[in-house]
Amino acid sequence: MRLRKEVRAGWSLFRRDMLKLFRERARIISALIQPIIFLGIFGLGLKDVLGGAGPFQELDYIQYIFPGIIGVNVLGLTITNGVTIVADREFGFLREVLVAPVSRLTIAIAKVCAGVGTALVQVSILMLLAPFVGLTPSIGVLVMLFFAVALLATATSALGVLIASRIRSVESFQYMFQFMIFPLFFLSGAFFVLSTVPAWIKFVANLNPLTYAIDLFRHILYSDIELNEASRSLLLVNSAGQDVVIIAVISGVLLAASAFSFSRME
Amino acid sequence: MAMIDVDGLVRRFGKFEAVRGVSFQIEEGELFGFLGPNGAGKTTTINMLVTMLRPTEGEAHVDGHSVRTEARRVRESIGIVFQEPTVDEALTGWENLKIHADIYDIPMATFRDRAEEVLRMVELQEWRNKLVRNYSGGMKRRLEIARGMLHYPRVLFLDEPTLGLDPQSRVALWDYIREIQSRERITVFLTTHYMAEAEYCDRIAVIDNGEIVALDTPERLKKLVGGDVITIRTADNETAAKELFYDLQVEPEIEDGVVRFEAPNGAQALAQVFRTLTPEILSVDLHKPSLEDVFIHLTGRAIRDSEATEGEKLRSQMREGSAFGGMRMRRP
């Protein structure tokens, strides 16, 4: 049975990445430092600047940026997951896999799954910070959040694989990563309310997949918070359904593109 | 049917022809060596045989399967040890074997015993639960060989298995290779640019500039050289060479400050040299032909000379046209 063989191989490659993640705990810890800094600087610093204006009379600013930080963190982590392919190529292990009787598609899917797994581990840890910003999600909310995170992580992990299959060295990956991550980051509504920004920023933000993911996280995390309709419609850009559909479509496209590109990689 | 059957294999990288139509057959159970300088086309040939690189022209069958159309079947019946390490250093030896077992679909019941067995063969049992990062270069190579053997391949490919190892590890590695070969009765295809090591092989193909220039047992190859090899150093090598050419009817070559020639009966020739040569003789050496002499005899130059000149050039071209990114060429 071809399929059974592929599943076994894929599972093994997925397990390898997870094993290495838990073995190299420094990676998890260092990935936590950035969100904490953002929460500190933006959350506590800008809170006073923004005062209690507009929707922030009801919602703490730090609670506003928390879902954004989850999104940014997942994005960074899962794209970096793609680097492991480039590193595996540099350190040779990729050859062992590429010359085995395993389809390239399996290898690419295993890598995307490892990205999703890494993201879920990371978000589990991030959610330990939630009570400190006054968010106490119920189990149901957490489950929904994990689904949403998995959806975003599928798209961004696939993007990581796509980039990795086109790039030769870890250095060039890092360069590209810096180049793309900050625009994605700041033009995503992670830090400011998109309803109140100039039209052109709004336009760019609407092209950014991260915008929809962060919007979806907000829908989920605010679902058990008391907010009046006016605030809710200011803080949330689209309906949750729209967000899900858009991210799912982007995931599908990136998944297909990365699988294709990885299979064609020489 | 031959275990490996290669017919007119050609590989071009752009305009550069790395392999120019090689053909040969390897029988089951043979230890077959591909001998040549770096850049001669050894690795390119191996990469085509293991289906990592598509031949530009020609065809090859491994264990009866075409490398062009039945890549998966070929991959299932071969084990490979590449020139560069491909083990995951962040995992233990055992974990590396486990992943291999999964991607080659070795039944779990078989895996445990087999893993123990291959680790014993290369004497790494005690290191199985240590991270590969802590292994020495020779141990890593041994682990790779163990891993390559794990799924009972019909053919084991070894690309420069002793490259970068110290002399002691090299000798030990050869013992492992020969033991594995005789014990498991598998076919071994290896490449090397170390002449002395090629002696271990049952048969050798000498490859130069992408072409096979000779293929035979080491013994018969050495007979290609006309008897014994004599090298003499004199006060005036030019004159000495001229005198040898006219008086002894041999074909001397001057290289590295010595005059080298081949003679059917070395001892007799040497006596004649002392009688007739006018320049002062500083030193003499007489030996039975080695594979190094065979290479010089066939190509007109020493293997290290061809490496320094063409090797560098070819490698840089191969790097550009490399069929897969990770293929870095490294030398000790």
- Cβ within 8 Å, pair B105-A9: yes
CATH topology of domain B226-288: Alpha-Beta Plaits (3.30.70)
Q: Where are the domains of chain A?
A: 2-264
Residue B60 exposed, middle or buried by CB count within 10 Å (0-12, 13-18, 19+) = buried
Which residue from A20, A94, A97 is facing B103, i.e. has the nearest CB? A97
Residue B310 exposed, middle or buried by CB count within 10 Å (0-12, 13-18, 19+) = middle
Mean pLDDT score, B148-167: 88
Chain A residues 24-53 with a CB less than 8 Å from chain B: 24
- Cβ within 8 Å, pair A91-B104: no
pLDDT tens, residue by residue, A69-109: 999 889 988 988 888 898 898 888 999 999 999 999 999 99
- Cβ within 8 Å, pair B50-A23: no
Sign of the C-alpha dihedral computed for residues B162, B165, B166 and B169 taken in this order: negative
- Cβ within 8 Å, pair A12-B102: yes
pLDDT given for residue A111 in this prediction? 95
Chain B residues 222-261 with a CB less than 8 Å from chain A: none
pLDDT given for residue B262 in this prediction? 86
Q: Which has the closest alpha carbon to B193: B326, B63, B40, B17?
A: B40
Q: Give me the interface pTM, i.e. the ipTM.
A: 0.87
Which residue from A19, A100, A266 is facing B325, i.e. has the nearest CB? A266
pLDDT given for residue B264 in this prediction? 84
Q: Any CB–CB contact under 8 A between B104 and chain A? A: yes
Q: pLDDT band at residue B96, thresholds of 50, 70 and 90?
A: very high
**What is the distance in angstroms between the Cα of A23 and the nearest Cα belonging to chain B?**
9
* Range list of H helices, chain A: 2-23, 25-38, 46-50, 61-90, 93-98, 104-126, 139-164, 170-186, 199-207, 209-221, 229-235, 240-264
pLDDT given for residue B132 in this prediction? 95
Say which CATH class B4-77+153-221+306-321 falls into.
alpha beta
- Cβ within 8 Å, pair A101-B82: no
**What is the distance in angstroms between the Cα of A125 and the nearest Cα belonging to chain B?**
24
Q: Where are the domains of chain B?
A: 4-77+153-221+306-321, 226-288
pLDDT given for residue B332 in this prediction? 37
Q: What is the mean pLDDT of chain A?
A: 87
Q: pLDDT band at residue A47, thresholds of 50, 70 and 90?
A: low
Structure tokens at B180: 């594995």
Residue B318: is its pLDDT beyond 50? no
- By C-alpha distance, the chain B residue nearest A103 is B72
- By C-alpha distance, the chain A residue nearest B87 is A93
Q: SS3 of B15, please?
A: coil
pLDDT tens, residue by residue, B50-93: 998 999 999 999 999 999 999 999 999 999 998 888 999 999 99
